[in-house]
Structure 1
Amino acid sequence: MTSVDDLFRKHNAGSKRKLEDPTTTFSRPLSNKSTKLTNGSSPRSLVNDAFDSNDSGGKAAFPQDETLDGQDDVEAGPTLPPEEVEDEPGDDEEGRFFGGGVTKQEREVIDFIDKNDDGDADEKFDSAWLRRTAINFERKINKNAELRAKYESDPIKFVGSEADLDAEIKGLSLLSEHGELYGEFVKMGCLGSLVGLLAHENTDIAIAVCELLAELTDEDSATTEDQWKTLVGAMVQNDLVDLLSSNLARLDEENESDRAGVYHILNVLENILSGSDNQEVVGANNNMMQWLLQRIKKIDLNARGKVGQNRQYAAEILAILLQTNRMNRDRIAQMEGVDTFMELLSAYRRRDPEKDSDEEEFAENLFDCLACVVEERFAGEKFVEGEGVELCLIMLREGRLAKARALRVLDHAMSGGNAIAVSVRLVEAAGLKTIFGMLMKSHKTERSLVEHLIGILASLLRYLPGGSAARIRTLAKFVENDYEKILRLVELRREYKARLSRVEASIRREREQLSSSEVEALADEWLSRRLDAGLFSLQAIELILSWMVAEDNGARQTISVLLGEDGLKILERSLRDQLDGMDPGQSDEAKSTEEMLEALLLCVEQ
């Protein structure tokens, strides 16, 4: 399964996501979309009407635009110079002018401006600047609110204040370069005012706020972790998630600016979800979760593969929400999310999405969502009821891109809360032939597939009920054809052991040169390197071999010979290491694992 670090707040995650087609042309003049406009008009059209009113014989919008009667022939433009100009200081003997066309007083003004021209460049972005900016921002908000209330039915009277407010919001983007001011920005109450504008009647104002919030919380903003948490924590406390959800409900993606607005909202969500505490807050918002589910189902007719950027982005947000949060998985399962994921993924049973497209990433995110959610009991039940096992087996037999992803889904489902039912269904659906067939061809298979195959086989032996027809059929597969599957597993064990031994030797060399405190500090890093080298898969293979030793005498003798001089002692040491590595204060699942290891250890020792 994709690691949490791969999905969450990464500063080394490569190129930054950008707003792409069909929203790359997003360049919108400020418009007003208040529901209070009458006669289908908008401030944008009203402003145009004001300027164009002469066409209908009405009075001009501004007096200076009126044409004066009887003065059609009046000359326009700058006043002509006098016909004769006397020489002034600055003219040469032939009358050529060197003075620049300005008076002495004007030259003094220009000189003064030149001397102070670097004032803006040297402006300090400190607390004083922030206070000035905050005051202007609050004034713009108040002025717009007053004019909206006073001229509710006449948008032309407040559209100017709306444009000023929009410009002020955009000016706050400078804050992203000064994370040291985030705390003060929050304390001054400005952040609350900013987030509150998400409820503005003009959706263009709300969209501008979303774009700003995305910039302030972006991984590229000049902030420390604490500064980022201060800002995001305050945003969440000011009902950010509810307000974002409300905006998603009122935006229409048929409109270009609204489509861009949806993108910016999803961008904000992605940014705040890099803080794990916020995953529960977002997931607990039913409206948000429902919108995300509905959005991934909505096709984008004009996009390649009918998957546009926002549809793909919604799937990615769901994958993040489900990655580590069990409550979110249960919530999405209650909303029929499992059926939704399987229905959408069924399109890839026999075909692959276009390479390097939004659709390909969309499919990847759907597989991530399904693999995460089926680990929980209720979702696992829905997976079996919806014939998810059968769908994955079809993908294993006929799919291309989907093959590896379907195998991962099965692996997660067969080690989750409904593992027994999933394991039994796999055998009943004639999945043994497919799984064991892939095992025997695993020398041609990429490593990730081999590891999922090993996980599935370990789950079959652990969860299939003793004496059941499904278990007997599985054991028969292991021993058929002179134990060829066991031979293949021993070969795989040898490969993983050799890879892990090289890493262990490297770690030992490093350990010899370090103090005890340094060794302790590097313990987690070394464990990660062992896992990358295949420690987990090696232990799973040794578990499978231990199960076969316990289940079949012929397999016991074969395994003992294949493992060489140490024979079953190898399995004994592995089981003891796994027992010693378990943490105290375990969950029910961990206690069950401990009991299994102890029982297998007794069988191997005999």
Structure 2
Amino acid sequence: MTSVDDLFKKPGIPSGSLKRKLEVPDAQEAYKATKVSSGSSPNGNHSNGATVEDENDDDVEAGPELPPDEDDDEEGRFFGTGMTKDTAEALDYIDQQEEETYEPEKIDSVWLRRLITGFEKKVNKNAELRARYEGDPAKFMDSEADLDAEIKSWSLLSEHPELYVEFAESGSVSNLIGLLAHENTDIAIGAIEIISELLDEDVQAEQEQWDALVAALLDADLLELLMSNLKRLDEENESDRSGVYHSLAVLENLASQQSVAEKIGQEKVLLWLCNRIKEPERPLGQNKQYAAEVLQVLLQNSQPIRKRLATDLDGVDLFLRLLAAYRKRDPPKDSHEEEYSENVFDALTCVVDEQEGKSKFVEAEGVELCLIMLKEGTKNICQRALRVLDHAVAGQGSASAAVCEKVVEAAGLKTIFSLFMKRSDSATVEHVLGMFSSLLRLLPGDSAARIRTLSKFTEKQYEKTSKLIELRKEYARRIAVVDKDIRKEQSTLPDDEIEQRAAEWLSRRLDGGLFSLQTIDIILAWLVAEDQVVKAKVAESLGDDGTQQIKSSLEDQKNGLEDGNAEDEDTREMLDTLMTFL
């Protein structure tokens, strides 16, 4: 996903040609205009009104009369230096002060306590004046302006996260959160902006400091007041639109931590986000796009939220209806709508990872919509629809099997195998291989859907199987190059550093195509178990030890599984069964 700093840029500033410029007069031209009299020209020629007497009068000077000597003006106000004695002394004093070195204000606990005290006084004063002069706003407007300025002063705290714990333990957190319910929405928006700054991902806070602040904010009922405030903001108003944006920023920053995501993923938040992303807009605005992004972050970081969205809010059907608009077209390039559609696709992908989401996906005809996108959509939409299908058929259980059966029933095999035979990028190949693996694993052994799937690998003289074997050889070559480089590095390192870099080397092997290679080996193992012709082709293309290479790959995958995990135990049993056929 595109980064957040690039996604949410402020509106561009109008170009200079559209902005009125201040016209500054040219001092030199003004001086020339006064020096040349109405009876002369800059070229030395006489004007129409010049006389001979003028020409012969050597005592006459052009231009304005010279100023009198400075001594002629008792106060010296207009000539000479052009300023009074008091003004000159004042400027001299300023110059002296500028030459002195000032130490910047020290930001520490003392500063924080002073800020807290001043803030609480402003809050209390404004509340008192509002209560006393409820019907006369003029009498509390000054205190409101002071309070607004005091709120902005908290911005400096975001540069000093070492004070977060102390701030969290003070009563000012409750006072700051309480301002979200202030009658003046500008005050509420100002408080939201400060909270957004304090939680921003760019703040260099330690986890302990961040956790302390978040706990204090949530204890002060941040979510409830934030959601209540969102209901009264009107995005037709620029200031209110900014308030919605910063509210979404607060939710995003909280959702980025998995431990907090589940706390804030309450039904009110999810419902508001779902309602916001389905509001029609032309052109699609930044806040709608941001709401989709926040929703996607929440779903990505929390399994309970994914299940809640699927079962309680019917989110799968909502996502499919929103994405149906792109089944034959791409959103405008580099627009908020493009990012919005990507976030909705990602959100749907997260939800169909869960069994509840898979069931809703089948009910809402999500398989059919994705297959239409594969056949009629643009390259970008096709790739995203394929990714959704890959996640929907993956996993274990009856819901995953139901998606696989629906793919075959909806005539999806022809579409998917056509994609496989085309020259495609690595991401497309990876998703297609993932779907093949899921279909072979989950479709019942004697079902018509499984027989139709197997027949696709055998038709046209096993051309799909032959391509699988060629792909395996290609990925094996890539991995061999990576492994050679890794062994070379390992030969020069001590044992403890080899252990430390194990994750890095695994990542490099995955980048080289390890996952696709392992998926192909599982597919070939299933085909060998079903058809002896495939076993002969493997031996013919990969050598007499071809099946042994596949068996070693399955053994490596088995060794990488975790003990005690139910899904991994099922996978281990499947791998053991496949190895018996090899």
Distance 1:397 1:177, change over 3 A: same
Distance 1:98 1:568, change over 3 A: closer
Does residue 163 in structure 1 map to residue 145 in structure 2? yes
1:16-40 per-residue CA deviation (whole Å, 9 max, x = no partner) reads 554534999xxxxxxxxxxxxxxxx
* Whole-angstrom distance in 1 between the partners of 2:253 and 2:295: 13
Q: Which moved more, 1:320-329 or 1:114-123?
A: 114-123
Partner amino acid, structure 2, of 1:583: E
Q: TM-score, structure 2 length as denominator?
A: 0.84
- Could you say which residue in structure 2 is the equivalent of 1:32? none
- Could you say which residue in structure 1 is the equivalent of 2:444? 465
* Whole-angstrom distance in 2 between the partners of 1:413 and 1:201: 47
Does residue 314 in structure 1 map to residue 291 in structure 2? yes
Distance 1:112 1:184, change over 3 A: farther
1:107-131 per-residue CA deviation (whole Å, 9 max, x = no partner) reads 4897389438868762222222222
- Could you say which residue in structure 2 is the equivalent of 1:236? 218
1:571-586 alignment to 2 at 5 Å?
Answer: 571-586=550-565
Does residue 520 in structure 1 map to residue 520 in structure 2? no
1:367-516 alignment to 2 at 5 Å?
Answer: 367-400=345-378, 401-416=380-395, 418-441=399-422, 444-516=423-495
Contact 1:353-1:359 within 8 A present in 2 as well: yes
- Could you say which residue in structure 2 is the equivalent of 1:542? 521
- Deviation, 1:192, is 2.7
1:34-75 per-residue CA deviation (whole Å, 9 max, x = no partner) reads xxxxxxxxxxxxxxxxxxxxxxxxxxxxxxxxxxxxxxxxxx
Say which SS state the counterpart of residue 568 (structure 1) adopts: helix
- Deviation, 1:599, is 0.6
- Deviation, 1:222, is 4.4
Gaps of 5+ in 1: 1-5, 8-12, 25-83
* Whole-angstrom distance in 1 between the partners of 2:110 and 2:101: 15
Root-mean-square deviation over aligned CA pairs: 2.6
1:173-184 alignment to 2 at 5 Å?
Answer: 173-184=155-166
Which of 258, 261, 264 is the matching residue for 1:282?
Answer: 264
Distance 1:98 1:383, change over 3 A: closer
- Deviation, 1:224, is 3.9
* Whole-angstrom distance in 2 between the partners of 1:109 and 1:141: 39
Contact 1:191-1:235 within 8 A present in 2 as well: yes
Distance 1:519 1:14, change over 3 A: farther
- Deviation, 1:137, is 0.8
- Deviation, 1:195, is 1.9
Distance 1:460 1:119, change over 3 A: same
Gaps of 5+ in 2: 15-70
Contact 1:20-1:309 within 8 A present in 2 as well: no
* Whole-angstrom distance in 2 between the partners of 1:373 and 1:95: 79
Which of 291, 294, 302 is the matching residue for 2:275?
Answer: 294
1:388-428 per-residue CA deviation (whole Å, 9 max, x = no partner) reads 10101000000012100000000000014521000000001
* Whole-angstrom distance in 1 between the partners of 2:9 and 2:198: 16
Say which SS state the counterpart of residue 581 (structure 2) adopts: helix
Partner amino acid, structure 2, of 1:329: R
- Deviation, 1:325, is 1.5
- Deviation, 1:273, is 2.1
Partner amino acid, structure 2, of 1:353: P
* Whole-angstrom distance in 2 between the partners of 1:87 and 1:126: 55
* Whole-angstrom distance in 1 between the partners of 2:178 and 2:489: 55
Which of 135, 138, 141 is the matching residue for 2:123?
Answer: 141
Contact 1:192-1:238 within 8 A present in 2 as well: yes
Q: Which moved more, 1:482-491 or 1:517-526?
A: 517-526
Q: TM-score, structure 1 length as denominator?
A: 0.81
Contact 1:423-1:464 within 8 A present in 2 as well: yes
Distance 1:355 1:569, change over 3 A: same
Which of 304, 310, 326 is the matching residue for 1:327?
Answer: 304
- Could you say which residue in structure 1 is the equivalent of 2:107? 125
Partner amino acid, structure 2, of 1:205: I
1:356-386 per-residue CA deviation (whole Å, 9 max, x = no partner) reads 1111111111110111101111111110011
Contact 2:256-2:301 within 8 A present in 1 as well: no
Larger RCO (CA under 8 A, 6+ residues apart): 1
Partner amino acid, structure 1, of 2:167: F
* Whole-angstrom distance in 1 between the partners of 2:93 and 2:301: 64
- Deviation, 1:565, is 3.2
* Whole-angstrom distance in 1 between the partners of 2:156 and 2:123: 19
Contact 1:486-1:559 within 8 A present in 2 as well: no
Contact 1:333-1:373 within 8 A present in 2 as well: yes
Q: Which moved more, 1:499-508 or 1:593-602?
A: 499-508
1:188-223 per-residue CA deviation (whole Å, 9 max, x = no partner) reads 332232122112222111111111122222222343
- Could you say which residue in structure 2 is the equivalent of 1:101? 84
Partner amino acid, structure 2, of 1:20: K
Does residue 214 in structure 1 map to residue 196 in structure 2? yes
Partner amino acid, structure 1, of 2:449: A
Which of 357, 361, 365 is the matching residue for 2:335?
Answer: 357
Contact 1:349-1:402 within 8 A present in 2 as well: yes
Which of 510, 513, 528 is the matching residue for 1:531?
Answer: 510
1:133-170 per-residue CA deviation (whole Å, 9 max, x = no partner) reads 22111111110111111122222222221111111111
- Could you say which residue in structure 2 is the equivalent of 1:260? 242
Contact 1:341-1:366 within 8 A present in 2 as well: yes
Partner amino acid, structure 2, of 1:158: F
Contact 2:257-2:301 within 8 A present in 1 as well: no
* Whole-angstrom distance in 2 between the partners of 1:508 and 1:446: 29
Which of 10, 18, 24 is the matching residue for 1:20?
Answer: 10
Partner amino acid, structure 1, of 2:330: D
Higher Rg of the two aligned structures: 2
* Whole-angstrom distance in 1 between the partners of 2:201 and 2:558: 41
Does residue 566 in structure 1 map to residue 545 in structure 2? yes
Contact 1:296-1:311 within 8 A present in 2 as well: yes
